[in-house]
Structure 1
Amino acid sequence: MISTTFDILGIGNAIVDILAEVDEEFLADQAMVKGSMALIDADRAAAIYELMPPTTENSGGSVANTVAVAAQMGARTAFLGLVADDTFGAVFRHDITASGVHYPSPFATVDAPSATCLIMVTADGQRTMNTYLGASSSLSSVDLDEAMIAASAIIYLEGFLFYAPAAQEACRVAATMARAAGRRVAISLSDSFCVQINLAAFQAIVRDQIDIVFANETELAALTGLDDFDAGAEAVAAQVEIAVLTRGALGSVIIRGDERVVVPAEPAEVIDTTGAGDSYAAGFMTGLVAGESLATCGLWASRAAAAAISRIGARPPGDLSAFRA
C-alpha cells in the first residue's frame, strides 16, 4: 500500500454559506419551515439574498466544513467539489484554501452559478437553510482524482450528493477506487429527507462500500426504518466497521464490533447549530487517523461540535489543535 499524502479527502458539494440572524417573523413571511433544509432555484436564491439582513459568507457545504475543521485541528486534508468562475466561487476557493485544505478542483464547465446556502439563524440557535446547488451539482466521476483517493487514509462522502444522479454515481466510483487502494470510506447521511427519497441507494452503499457511517437519530431511523434508537444502531453497526451516531444534547454513541462507547455532549451555549455535525465528524476522523481510541475520538469530536454551536457560523475559526489535548 502506498503511503498517505492526506488523512482525509472530502468529496462533496462546494457551497458558499451565507448566514444572517433573523426573527421568527422573517421565516413566516418567507414561508420557511424552521429548522429545515429546502432546495431552491437560482431566482429564489437571489430573492432571499436580497431580503436578508447583513450576512457573513464563507466556504461551506457539509463535507467541506468537515475537512476545513479537521485541517484546523492538524489533519492533512483535501477536498474535491465544483464551483463556477464567479464571485462566490472565488470566495469558496480562497476561504477553504486559507483554512489549510488542499483544493485542486478546476472550475465547473456548466453554465450555472456557484452553489449557495442561505442560512437563517433564529434566537434559539436553530438554522433554516435554503440551498441552491448550482454548479456543485454537476460533479461526476470524471471530476475524481484516483491518485488522490489512493493516497488518502479516509475518503469522506457527502449524502447530499445523492440528490444528483451523476454525483451519486461519483460516490460509488470513489468508494470503489478507495477500497481497491485499501483505504477506508466514510459517509455522512447528511439529511433524513435525502435518505428517504434515495433510500435504496443509501442502503446499498452503506451495506456494500462504507466503513464508517455518521448519522444523527432521524437519519438513522430513515436508513434503517427503525424508530427505536438502539435497534437502529445495532442494525447499522452490523454493516460497517464503525457507526458514529449523534444524539444532540444526549451526546453520541460509537460502535465498532462489540465495542460501544457513549460520549457525553460537551457543555456549550447554543448560539447557532449550523455545522455541529460537520465539526463532530472532523474531530472524530482526526482522532481516528491519529490512532486514538474511540473514546478519545468521540471527545475530540464533541469538543469541535461544542465550539461550532457556540458562535454564528458553520465552523469555529483559527487554530483548533487545543481540541486534541
Structure 2
Amino acid sequence: MPKFDVLAIGNAIVDILARCDDSFLEENAIIKGAMNLIDADRAELLYSKMGPAVEASGGSAGNTAAGIAGFGGKAAYFGKVAEDQLGGIFQHDIRAQGVHYQTEPQGLNPPTARSMIFVTPDGERSMNTYLGACVELGPEHVEEDVVAESKVTYFEGYLWDPPRAKEAIREAARIAHDNGREVAMTLSDPFCVGRYRAEFLDLMTSGTVDIVFANKHELLSLYETEDLELALEKIAADCKLAAVTMSEDGAIVVRGKELAKIAAFPIEELVDTTGAGDLFAAGFLYGYTQDRSLEDCGKLGCLAAAVVIQQIGPRPMGSLKETASQAGLI
C-alpha cells in the first residue's frame, strides 16, 4: 500500500495578511486578485505600508497538503525555506498539521519566501510574493521514495516561475509514472497561465500531468476563449481528469465524456478568498485517493473551500474531517 495519499510540491511561503481598501491597491500599483511577483526591496516597501497583519504559513501546495491532512488523509510536502524565523514558522506549522515534511532548509540567504496579501472589503485577495528561498528548489530535493509511495503527486503552476523547480517537477513526474502513480497540477493564476500557456498545455497533452485543477478564469485563459463549454471540451480532451471551480457557482468535473456539476456550499459571510482553490484541491484529492465518486470528490472540495473563505488565512482553523462528517460526506 502507498505510504501517502498525496505528495504536494510548491513554493514554501509565509503569508502576511492585512485588510485594505481598493484605493490602497491603486495607489501602490497592485493588480487586484492576482499574484504579483516582487523583489526584496518591493517586499520591504509594501510591508512598511501594511496595517495590522496576521502571519500564517501558506503557499498554494502547502495549503493543499495541510487540507488533506485535515481531512485525515496522509500528506507529504516538498518546498524550500531558509534557516530564519519565517522558515521556522513554516516548518512548525506544516508538521503540526500532520504533514510529512523533510526538505532541508537553505541557509540564511536568500530568506524564506513571504507573500504580502491585501484583502479588500469584497473578500478578494491580492498577493505580492517575494520568492526568496523558493527559487533554490531543484531536482536534488526530490525524495524518490516519497514520490514512489504517493498515490498522487500534486504541484502548483507557480513553480514554473523559479527555473530549477521545473526540473524538479519533471523528475518527480517521471518517478511517479514509473511507479504507476498519477500527477496533478493547479494552473494557479490567470497571469501564471499567460506566462506559461504553451508549457502547461504540453504538460497535459504529453501525459506528464494526468489531473488539472483550474478556476473558470484560468481555464478560459488557457484556451484563449470566452466560451466555457468549448474550454471544457478542450481540457477533457487534453488530460485524464479536470476540476474547474466557479466561485459561488460551484464546480464542474470532467473525465472524458463524463461530467459532474457540483453546487457551492452556502456560507454565512465571505471573509477572505485566500486558499479557496487550494482547499478545493485538498478536498477533491482526499476524496479521489479514497476512491470516491467524482461528485463526492467535488462536494468535498466545495466544502473545504466554503470553510476557508469564511476566515482570515489559507488553512482551516477547525477540523475538516469533523465538518465533512457533519455534512454526511465522510
TM range, smaller chain: over 0.9
- Does residue 211 (structure 1) correspond to residue 231 (structure 2)? The answer is no
Deviation of the 1:83 alpha carbon: 0.3
1:37 & 1:137 partners in 2: Cα distance? 16
Equivalent in the alignment of 2:12: 14
Deviation of the 1:43 alpha carbon: 1.3
The one-letter amino acid of 1:176's match is R
2:266 & 2:90 partners in 1: Cα distance? 31
Choose 205-214 or 109-118, whichever is displaced more. 109-118
Q: Which secondary structure state, in structure 2, belongs to the residue aligned with residue 78 of structure 1? A: strand
Q: Aligned runs of 1:11-160 on 2, under 5 Å?
A: 11-109=9-107, 111-160=109-158
Choose 81-90 or 262-271, whichever is displaced more. 262-271
2:24 & 2:215 partners in 1: Cα distance? 28
Structure 1-normalised TM-score?
0.96
Deviation of the 1:179 alpha carbon: 0.6
Map Cα deviations across residues 270-325 of structure 1 (whole Å, 9 max, x no partner): 11111100000000000111111111111111110001111111121132103243
2:104 & 2:234 partners in 1: Cα distance? 40
- 8 A contact 2:34–2:189 mirrored in 1: no
1:45 & 1:125 partners in 2: Cα distance? 22
Deviation of the 1:161 alpha carbon: 0.4
2:219 & 2:90 partners in 1: Cα distance? 31
Deviation of the 1:110 alpha carbon: 7.5
Q: Aligned runs of 1:187-266 on 2, under 5 Å?
A: 187-208=185-206, 209-266=208-265
Give runs of ≥4 in structure 1 deviating > 6 Å.
Answer: none
Deviation of the 1:132 alpha carbon: 0.4
The one-letter amino acid of 1:108's match is Q
Map Cα deviations across residues 103-132 of structure 1 (whole Å, 9 max, x no partner): 100012572010001101111101111000
Equivalent in the alignment of 1:307: 307
- 8 A contact 1:10–1:155 mirrored in 2: yes
1:169 & 1:180 partners in 2: Cα distance? 17
Choose 278-287 or 163-172, whichever is displaced more. 163-172
- 8 A contact 2:287–2:297 mirrored in 1: yes
- 8 A contact 1:8–1:155 mirrored in 2: yes
Deviation of the 1:194 alpha carbon: 1.2
The one-letter amino acid of 2:314's match is A
1:168 & 1:317 partners in 2: Cα distance? 32
2:191 & 2:140 partners in 1: Cα distance? 27
Q: Which secondary structure state, in structure 1, belongs to the residue aligned with residue 311 of structure 2? A: coil
The one-letter amino acid of 2:301's match is A
Deviation of the 1:183 alpha carbon: 0.4
- 8 A contact 1:45–1:132 mirrored in 2: yes
- 8 A contact 2:236–2:257 mirrored in 1: no
2:198 & 2:151 partners in 1: Cα distance? 27
Equivalent in the alignment of 1:282: 282
Map Cα deviations across residues 44-102 of structure 1 (whole Å, 9 max, x no partner): 11121122112111111100000101101111001000000001101100111111111
Map Cα deviations across residues 234-266 of structure 1 (whole Å, 9 max, x no partner): 111112221111111111100112211000111
Percent identity reads 45
- 8 A contact 2:34–2:191 mirrored in 1: no
Choose 156-165 or 214-223, whichever is displaced more. 214-223
- 8 A contact 2:83–2:108 mirrored in 1: no
Choose 7-16 or 267-276, whichever is displaced more. 267-276
Choose 57-66 or 20-29, whichever is displaced more. 20-29
Unpaired segments ≥5 residues, structure 1: none
Q: Which secondary structure state, in structure 1, belongs to the residue aligned with residue 218 of structure 2? A: helix
Unpaired segments ≥5 residues, structure 2: none
Deviation of the 1:156 alpha carbon: 0.3
Equivalent in the alignment of 1:171: 169
Deviation of the 1:225 alpha carbon: 2.5
- 8 A contact 2:253–2:259 mirrored in 1: yes
1:38 & 1:31 partners in 2: Cα distance? 10
Deviation of the 1:227 alpha carbon: 2.3
